[in-house]
Amino acid sequence: MGLIFLIPLFCFLFSPSHADIAAKPGVNYGQLGNNLPPPHKSVELIKSLKAGRVKIYDANPRILQALKNTDIQVSVMVPNEIITAIAANQTLADDWISSNVLPFYPQTKIRYVLVGNEILSQPDNVTWHNLVPAMRRIRKSLILNKLKKIKVGTPLAMDCLEASFPPSSGMLKKSVTDSVLKPLLQFVNRTKSFFFIDVYTYFAWVSDPVNIKLGYALLQPNVTSYTDPVSGLTYTNLLDQMLDALYFALKRAGYPDTRLFIAETGWPNGGDVDQIGASVYNAAIYNRNVVKKFTDKSLKGTPLKPDVVLPSFIFALYNENQKTGPGTERHFGLLYPNGTNIYEIDLSGKTSESEFTKALPAPTNNEPYKGRIWCVSERGANGTALGGALSYACGQGNGTCDPIRPGGKCFKPDSVTWHASYAFSSYWAQFRKSGGTCYFNGLAVQTTKNPSFGSCKFPSVTL
């Protein structure tokens, strides 16, 4: 049906498991915000979402303390930065477990120690080759401390795949298959752990919204279907298609029975003007459908693996205002930082769609924005920080800030806020195509309102 010819590899993620693993989804508790509730309040909010498990991106002692004596299963994470050191030194692994697991276990139900996060997506290939050795040392330390029930894993992104479409062609990335991925799979299978993977249908859809139907990416029923010409399997949603691409890749590598665990999935509830489909409506529909899929016995599994349970984490607990990159990065939360729901959701799957009482706001950006966009200073931004960002923007391009120099057409009004707005727009217009963003550590925001006046003309991006 011409539905999906290529889906960028960075978009894919996947995870299955056996029937002894609880299906109730959990939530990723990110902490990259300067306005988030304290851990004890966050734990209460996690309970209110009826999350079965929580994953944190470190081993924050205040969070682990707040999770004591709850029924919430917990995953903690060894930082990327110390993987190479731990791989070479068992004492460091022992010290990490002694400091970050033993003081809290078993009152805090730590079930997984995840070594690093999306290591293969980072440029540091030294860490790649130290990943599995570090995992072995962490597991050895757990065994020495009689903590055999705690499993060791590592979350990867879908860029661990070399091929993904059609799903039956799924293949692991050749450059790291023998050196990293097969040792990882051997470790996971030998220790009865999981292959943790992050999967986002949003990014796959954004890459090709013409050929990929939005409803197919949102897991909406009866939108369309795609039949794999080799396997003959029929797909009715993009998540299943992405997951089976990974299943086929693992089978092709010789590990067909590997258990998968979705370490992250979700949909942004907001974003920048130039980012389509990021809305409260779409986020609510996607995450509600995911919860239904993962908890409804009749919907579990994928066409290739229909009988597996898919343990999972929804990304994320909060909108996090200190995450860098495009606006969507700061808008994946189920909750606002003040603790209120962005939309109604029940991670236990026991609340049906018809039982949610608050109407969702209609999406307004399902189609690409057409027009001009400017990048200006965020209202209320710190003047000192703006000055630093202004200097950075002006120092990057050739003539980027000439109009705001004394005597220039945009020099007046002579204020840091005004000059920064011009510099941000000028920088973004010049460097957007090569990866420049309208962010500047949270000091800038996109706008469709032209800030130009008189002879001062602000550069813009035209979509």
SS3 420: helix
**Structural domains present in the chain:** 9-355 (3.20.20.80), 372-462 (1.20.58.1040)
DSSP letter at 82 equals: G
- The reply to whether 81 belongs to the active site is no
Q: What angle do CA 67, 345, 369 make, to 5 degrees?
A: 120
- What average pLDDT score do residues 457-461 get? 96
Q: Which two tokens stand for residue 195?
A: 């292959």
| Position 9 confidence tier, pLDDT thresholds 50, 70, 90 | very low
- The active-site residue out of 44, 81, 264, 329 is 264
CA–CA gap between residue 297 and residue 39 (Å, rounded):
33
The per-residue pLDDT for 449 is 96
- What average pLDDT score do residues 342-370 get? 95
pLDDT digits (tens, 9 = 90+) for 74-111: 999 999 999 999 999 999 999 999 999 999 999 999 99
43 and 66 in contact (C-beta within 8 Å)?
Answer: yes
422 and 397 in contact (C-beta within 8 Å)?
Answer: no
Cα separations (Å) of 98 from 52, 92, 104, 151, 273?
A: 26, 10, 10, 16, 47
| Position 364 confidence tier, pLDDT thresholds 50, 70, 90 | very high
79 and 53 in contact (C-beta within 8 Å)?
Answer: no
- The reply to whether 353 belongs to the active site is no
The per-residue pLDDT for 70 is 97
pLDDT at 7 over 60: no
CA–CA gap between residue 270 and residue 330 (Å, rounded):
8
Strand 26-29 vs strand 312-315: parallel, antiparallel, or unpaired? Answer: parallel
pLDDT at 6 over 80: no
pLDDT at 5 over 60: no
Partners of residue 450 on adjacent β-strands: none
DSSP letter at 4 equals: -
Give the CA dihedral 112, 238, 51, 269, nearest 10 degrees. Answer: 120
Task: Give the H/E segment covering residue 156.
Answer: strand 155-156
22 and 41 in contact (C-beta within 8 Å)?
Answer: no
> 212: Cβ–Cβ under 8 A, 6 or more apart, which residues?
3, 4, 7, 204, 205, 238
- The active-site residue out of 118, 162, 329, 353 is 118
pLDDT at 142 over 60: yes
